[in-house]
Structure 1
Amino acid sequence: MPEPRRKHYIPLESNPEVFTKLIHALGVSSAFEFIDVLSLDDPDLIAMMPRPVLALILAFPAIGEDYNKKLEEQNRTREIYTGSGEGEDTVWYKQTIGNACGLYAILHSISNVPAKDFITPDSAIARLLATITPLAPEERALALEASDEVEEAHRHAGNSGVTSVPNPEDDVDHHYLAFVKSHKNNRVYELDGMNKGPVETGVTLAEGEDVFGDAGRRLVKEMIEREDNVGFSLTALVPVKSL
């Protein structure tokens, strides 16, 4: 069963405009944005994607006890992650804030991109990364919970969607996770704060290949095909095309 939550946030709408507002509020350069991925198969639509794709966020149905049982089964054989510091292959956040899986997927996306020309110095995300990077997962989780800057940016983003705003403690029926490339070893990791740590997918990208290349798209397609539901959506963190 999921651990009790000390805090709950408004669930984020699966909307790239909402995601983009949040990362810009946190201090990511306006030269980057989230966009919808329209196809994993159509060559013309794939060719239209701005590159490089820095991260992918998958939203998928995750309803009640069925999802909790599946999560417990997946985590049963995984070791609890204890990594910290500059030597980590990826920056991972344990989810301890209720209904904030969208925030965690976004943080996983923007925390695993080299900061040069991407993160504004002395911004909320720059300060958060400076604080959490040396910390072990439990202390990192507490530091994120304590960040008033992140909470305020998330509150504004949560209220900026086109659908009605749910109560922060309402049950939600979708979950988010991120796929990122480690800048340490070019391996693709599945980052989900509900897991015991980063999950290495077994995919290693060629030098210069991004997560929306053939191997990355195949990984996402395989995950979608394993599930018995519809209702998946995929967003990508990319450079703004007009720049």
Structure 2
Amino acid sequence: MASTEQVKIDPHGTSVAPAATKPKHFIPLGSNPNSGTTIAENNPEVMSTLLHKLGLSPTLQFHDVFSIDDPDLLAFVPRPAYALLLVFPVSDTYEKFRHAEDKDLPEYEGSGAGEKVVWYKQTIRNACGLMGLLHGVSNGPARAFVQGGSQLDKLIEEAVPLKPRQRAELVEHSDALESAHAEAAVIGDTAAPAAEDDVDLHYVCFVKSEKDGHLYEMDGRRKGPLDRGTLDAEEDVLSETALNKGVRAFLKREEEAGGGELRFSLIVLAQSLD
């Protein structure tokens, strides 16, 4: 697990805030009462409710992914899968990998309609779940399911032409996002932590770009979107290729490092079952 000092220096989103400015805090989204863990932000009902309130069509919702290796369990997940969200403890292994990979990467400055993906830099503490949601619905086929004129549609439309810093400010100053997030954070059977509490769990989102067909790892803590490679036209974010380039690569690093704790949770955005 990341040290207390590391979390304070580079917590889930505050590393990009000016040192003299107290970063904005959100209450972490609730844990899943149906799971056997207390991993925050993995409740598909909470995530779906939040996005539906903001303007995502109810024809899409989040679903639990109980296994990435058992074909029978994967068969229960509707396809195509538009966005895959991974929740995991921030381990020393992950932090070392993150810093090593980011070391030689430039700060992302993309904007406009020509972007391969729409990426949001995170400046709000404890908002990694929200950032995962925004990445999931701002990219790929899911964008078409955002209802025109909704708060979510307006935010994405405003975000596209902006540079990452201005996008971060747009998200930070959105009353609609803050209100919907606050309501979602208290849904469920588990008491929500305080906004100021340090949370050692983090969220990343995997999406498939409609521009180049590549799998992208979207994480507001990083320097920008991470291109994990090409997917075939028929492959989605739950395909074998995508899992090997994304979630399985993450799990392999953790296992090889012998970190011990391999708590993680997956939910996927796909067609509703109702």
| Same fold, judged at TM 0.5 (above) | yes
User: Which moved further from structure 2: 221-230 or 66-75?
Assistant: 66-75
Match of 2:87 in 1: 59
What letter corresponds to residue 131 of structure 1 in structure 2? Answer: E
Give the conservation status (yes or no) of the 8 Å contact 1:57–1:235: yes
CA distance in 2, matches of 1:100, 1:70: 22
When the two structures are superposed, what TM-score results if normalisation uses the length of structure 2? Answer: 0.83
Match of 1:9 in 2: 26
CA distance in 2, matches of 1:35, 1:27: 18
Q: How many residues align?
A: 240
Match of 2:4 in 1: none
**Does residue 205 in structure 1 map to residue 231 in structure 2?**
yes
Shift of 1:62: 1.1
SS in 1 for 2:203: strand
SS in 1 for 2:62: strand
**Does residue 241 in structure 1 map to residue 267 in structure 2?**
no
Q: Which of residues 146, 150, 159 is equivalent to 2:186?
A: 159
Q: Deviations over 1:142-200 (max 9, x none)?
A: 01111100110111111113211111110102100000000001100000000000001
**Does residue 40 in structure 1 map to residue 68 in structure 2?**
yes
User: Which moved further from structure 2: 106-115 or 145-154?
Assistant: 106-115
SS in 2 for 1:167: coil
User: Which moved further from structure 2: 204-213 or 25-34?
Assistant: 204-213
**Does residue 230 in structure 1 map to residue 242 in structure 2?**
no
Give the conservation status (yes or no) of the 8 Å contact 2:119–2:224: yes
Match of 1:195 in 2: 222
Give the conservation status (yes or no) of the 8 Å contact 1:61–1:173: yes
Give the conservation status (yes or no) of the 8 Å contact 1:29–1:117: no
Query: Once superposed, which parts of structure 1, at least 4 consecutive aligned residues long, lie more than 4 Å away?
Result: 65-70
Q: Deviations over 1:59-109 (max 9, x none)?
A: 00015x776555333321211000001100001000000010000011100
Compared CA separation, residues 103 and 212, structure 1 to 2 (3 A): same
What letter corresponds to residue 99 of structure 1 in structure 2? Answer: N
CA distance in 2, matches of 1:96, 1:114: 26
SS in 1 for 2:220: coil
Match of 2:105 in 1: 78
Shift of 1:239: 0.3
Shift of 1:115: 6.0
SS in 2 for 1:34: strand
**Does residue 141 in structure 1 map to residue 141 in structure 2?**
no
Give the conservation status (yes or no) of the 8 Å contact 2:120–2:135: yes
What letter corresponds to residue 238 of structure 1 in structure 2? Answer: A
Q: Report the aligned-residue RMSD.
A: 1.7
Compared CA separation, residues 144 and 66, structure 1 to 2 (3 A): same
| Runs of at least 5 residues in structure 1 that lack an aligned partner in the other structure | none
CA distance in 2, matches of 1:113, 1:172: 29
Give the conservation status (yes or no) of the 8 Å contact 2:86–2:267: yes
Match of 2:152 in 1: 125
